[in-house]
Amino acid sequence: MTELRALWDDTSVPVVLRSTVTSPFGRKVRMALIALGLEARVTLDPADTLDEGDSLRVQNPLGKMPCLLIGDEAFFDSHVILEMLDTLSGGGLVPVEGVERFRLLTRARLADGITDAALLITYEGRFRDADMRSDKWLGHQRGKMRRALAVLEAAPPDASRADLVSLTLAACLGYLDWRQPLDWRAEFPGLSTWLDRFATAHPCWAATERTQT
């Protein structure tokens, strides 16, 4: 922590977030930065995951966003970055210890899994010819999403708190609104209400809409 704090506080050390304004995982990080009051320290540098010449593939060999650069050192993925931001801010994203902490971490992973499934559906449409797309595969991904959304609707996080679970879920639902892999608002009206409440309570939501630069 001492080394991390020293690097973060040293303004001669650049801190760069490799992401785009459309990445749901990048949005989760950008919302956390704003919610924790850390956004002024970070510069957003868009990345192109399909560009073989993009330095993202050197910074993160997986070529995935988001990737946080502190000086010459890279940290990824979004969950790792949020754990780092939580440490820097003195806690707040996961403000508990013991078994409850791991319950919250599990719920955040559940929301991430919905986003993963939505991305796979998006990629199926983007990278496969129409006659090569698998309805069985798409149905499999939508099944994951519906089961996970049902669990989160039954016990949603506190919309008034910008913590790990609520930030992850909000970023996920924002991506579903954009890509529309299923009509989640009609199927899960409780989560639709939850997202509206979260958006009203937290300026980081509007500040990270994809229309923002």
Average of per-residue pLDDT across 180-192? 97
* 39-59 per-position pLDDT tens digit: 999 999 999 999 999 999 999
What pTM was estimated for this model as a whole? 0.94
Tell me: pLDDT of 95 over 80.
no
Q: How high is the pLDDT of residue 1?
A: 61
Q: Does pLDDT of 35 surpass 80?
A: yes
| Domain ranges, ordered by start, for the chain | 2-88, 99-204
The CATH code belonging to domain 99-204 is 1.20.1050.10
| CATH C-level class of 2-88 | alpha beta
Token output for 108: 């955040």
Concatenated DSSP letters for 7-50? HHH-TTS-EEEE--TT-HHHHHHHHHHHHTT-GGG-EEE---TT
DSSP E strands in 123-210: the ranges are: none
Q: How confident is the model at residue 130 (pLDDT cuts 50, 70, 90)?
A: confident
pLDDT at 212 over 50: no
